[in-house]
Amino acid sequence: MPVIVLSLGMIVVLYVFVGRRKGLFLFLAAIGGSALIGNVLKSLFGRERPSVHRLMEEDGFSFPSSSSVTAVALYGVIVYLLWIPRLSRAGKIALTAAAIFMMVCVGLSRIYLGVHYPSDVIGGMLAGAAWLWLSIAVFKHLSDSRDKNVRLSM
């Protein structure tokens, strides 16, 4: 539920306040793709969840932590899209620190609740980072290609 609320808020910020409408496609691709990747990898690995010291019950497989995949993609894409030139150096540091803090908190909470092993969280974070990098690379390539085509036609 918090991811949905944060995502809706981010969509409003991007569309209305920051004016990065193209960024909406990147945002939606990063978040949607991270959920898909988490589920696909869980099916491929089929690792059972920890069976001791659980504070919460979860269904499905354990590796990688889908919450960690999504957290890295979500907070990473927020940093990327809000990293605008007029943002001060202190603002950029605060934005990045807050994102890293949230990613770590999500991962640690999954371990604390006993629904993931530490390796599940690390694997999820690596998968999320890889997906985020790929999403941004494709977005930049498509944006650069489009901008180049617009300049050539003028």
Q: Is the pLDDT of residue 59 over 80?
A: no
The pTM (predicted TM-score) of the whole model is: 0.80
Phi, psi of 46 (to 5 degrees): 60, 35
Sign of the C-alpha dihedral, residues 123, 91, 14, 139? Answer: negative
List the one residue out of 145, 137, 143 whose CA is nearest residue 30: 137
DSSP string, 87-153: S-HHHHHHHHHHHHHHHHHHHHHHHHTTSS-HHHHHHHHHHHHHHHHHHHHHHHHHHHHHHHHHHHH
Q: Label residue 154 by pLDDT band (50, 70, 90).
A: very low
